């Protein structure tokens, strides 16, 4: 029997106000609260609320045989607490069913695992506590931002005590292997790596509403047959996608909600497949073999590497300038002023450098779709203006500490049990 593992990533960043250097310098808060709230409320109406209710119905109808998993970024949880608390309650209701696993990640959807292991550990600790406090179970599965993974990231995740790590089943990583069994990242002793089956995942996430796709329109019974047609010894199939796929990227009139409503019924006919969570798969199945991961792999763009965030000089300059300010922001927090660190962490969200990508063709179209800027250079200039304002704030004498609403920040030596659209959250192909 093959376990079907649905995992949904739900994320919203704190987008910046579009402002000049002087305007950013004169404001203590660089983020576009009105715009962020508008996008969150739109995505909650189109996706989060109706899809959460649908999943609750499926769990009840199928008496717990339907299961799935989520990652909610800390930045999204902050926004839900501030502007959509009833929507957040629906995620809590899903956790209460016992059929939904909430996976851990970095609190601010950052690239810290690649740049600053101590900051990475601090964000993971804060997010792990937050997930446990909100949803009642301490997470044992981890996913890094945008499924970015190499042997160093895997070693950090194992050292933090996680049992399972999610990743992208990219061809450069797997070679002639298949993504249907747990692997052990090279250099790890016990961590199990569960990989995404990108063809079947993208059939839902990208191709579902494309009338030029030969399989259009995709029906639940046909998709269920594909799941049942996997190798008989396949331990699981990872269907990993943005939660905003449902109702935001694929609008309701595409039939995406009807498809999901029927899929469990079709899949559960017979005894070929069942639904499971990542932790259940990791517990039930041994690692098939050791898997070398010498270079970073992600689920972004055709290259499935780091080029979505760190390919061009603007992106690298912004990333380097941001992390150059981290020691000063930490020092301010240790002196009792957490405001700069809270701003720094929101600026560290990977979306900001993603908006600076200068790719062309289909990847460029996806970047443009998600970006709130007319050009990548505008994203770069606005980000650097906000960063310069933060630098100036850190250099001037402290008067009274201030913290952006809903965003407490602690020095990395402590952990907190408080939480640290754009058209949804996926930034790929």
Kindly give the confidence (pLDDT) of every residue in the chain, 429 residues in length, as a single tens digit, with 9 standing for 90 and above. 999 999 999 999 999 999 888 888 778 789 999 999 999 999 999 999 999 999 999 999 999 999 999 999 999 999 999 999 999 999 999 999 999 999 999 999 999 999 999 999 999 999 999 999 999 999 999 999 999 999 999 999 999 999 999 999 999 899 999 999 999 999 999 999 999 999 999 999 999 999 999 999 999 999 999 999 999 999 999 999 999 999 999 999 999 999 999 999 999 999 999 999 999 999 999 999 999 999 999 999 888 999 999 999 999 999 999 999 999 999 999 999 999 999 999 999 999 999 999 987 566 567 677 799 999 999 999 999 999 999 999 998 765 555 554 454 444 543 332 223 333 333 333
Prediction pTM value: 0.91
Cα–Cα distance for residue pair 372/351, rounded to 1 Å: 10
Q: What distance lies between CA 256 and its chain's CA centroid?
A: 21
Measured between alpha carbons, how far is residue 60 from residues 23, 52, 63, 65 in Å?
52, 12, 5, 9
Percent of residues in the chain assigned helix, strand, coil, to nearest 5: 50, 15, 40
Cα–Cα distance for residue pair 380/374, rounded to 1 Å: 11
Are 10 and 43 contacting, i.e. CB atoms less than 8 angstroms apart? no
Structure tokens at 362: 């289909």
Collapse the DSSP code of 188 into the 3-class scheme (helix H, G, I; strand E, B; otherwise coil) and give the result: coil
The pLDDT value given to residue 404? 56
Q: Among residues 93, 44, 81, 14, which one has the least CA distance to residue 344? A: 14
The pLDDT value given to residue 3? 98
Secondary structure letter of residue 47 according to DSSP: I
The pLDDT value given to residue 26? 78
The pLDDT value given to residue 108? 98
Secondary element (H or E) of residue 102: strand 100-102
Collapse the DSSP code of 213 into the 3-class scheme (helix H, G, I; strand E, B; otherwise coil) and give the result: coil
Q: Before 217, cis peptide (omega within 30)?
A: yes
Q: What amino acid positions are annotated as catalytic residues?
A: 146
The pLDDT value given to residue 421? 32
């Amino acid at each position: 029997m093959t376990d079907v593992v649905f995992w949904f990533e739900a994320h919203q960043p704190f987008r910046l106000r579009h402002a000049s250097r002087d305007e950013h310098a004169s404001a203590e808060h660089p983020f576009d609260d009105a715009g962020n709230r508008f996008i969150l409320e739109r995505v909650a109406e189109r996706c989060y609320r109706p899809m959460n209710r649908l999943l609750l119905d499926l769990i009840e109808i199928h008496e717990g045989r339907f299961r799935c998993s989520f990652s909610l970024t800390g930045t999204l949880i902050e926004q839900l607490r501030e502007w959509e608390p009833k929507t957040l309650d629906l995620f809590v209701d899903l956790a209460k069913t016992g059929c939904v696993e909430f996976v851990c990640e970095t609190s601010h959807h950052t690239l810290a695992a690649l740049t600053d292991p101590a900051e990475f550990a601090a964000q993971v600790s804060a997010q792990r506590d937050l997930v446990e406090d909100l949803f009642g179970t301490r997470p044992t599965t981890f996913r890094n931002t945008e499924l970015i993974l190499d042997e160093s990231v895997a070693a950090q995740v194992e050292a933090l005590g996680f049992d399972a790590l999610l990743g992208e089943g990219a061809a450069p990583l797997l070679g002639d292997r298949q993504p249907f069994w747990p692997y052990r990242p090279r250099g790890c002793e016990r961590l199990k790596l569960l990989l995404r089956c990108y063809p079947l995942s993208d059939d839902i996430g990208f191709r579902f509403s494309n009338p030029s796709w030969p399989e259009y329109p995709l029906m639940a019974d046909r998709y269920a047959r594909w799941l049942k047609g996997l190798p008989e010894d396949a331990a699981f199939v990872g269907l990993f996608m943005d939660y905003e796929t449902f109702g935001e990227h694929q609008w309701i009139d595409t039939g995406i909600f009807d498809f999901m409503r029927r899929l469990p019924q079709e899949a559960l006919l017979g005894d070929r497949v069942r639904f499971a969570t990542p932790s259940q798969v990791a517990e039930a199945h041994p690692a098939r073999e050791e898997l070398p991961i010498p270079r970073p792999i992600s689920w972004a763009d055709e290259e499935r590497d780091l080029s979505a965030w760190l390919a061009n000089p603007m992106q690298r300059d912004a990333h380097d300038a941001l992390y150059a300010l981290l020691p000063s922001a930490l020092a301010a927090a240790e002196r009792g002023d957490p405001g700069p660190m809270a701003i720094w962490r929101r600026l560290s969200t990977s979306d900001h450098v993603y908006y600076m990508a200068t790719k062309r063709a289909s990847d460029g179209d996806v970047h443009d779709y998600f970006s709130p800027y007319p050009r990548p250079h505008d994203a770069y200039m606005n980000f650097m203006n906000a960063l310069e304002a933060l630098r100036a704030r850190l250099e001037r004498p402290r008067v009274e500490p201030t913290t952006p609403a809903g965003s407490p920040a602690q020095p990395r030596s402590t952990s907190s049990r408080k939480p640290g659209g754009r058209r949804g959250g996926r930034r790929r192909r």
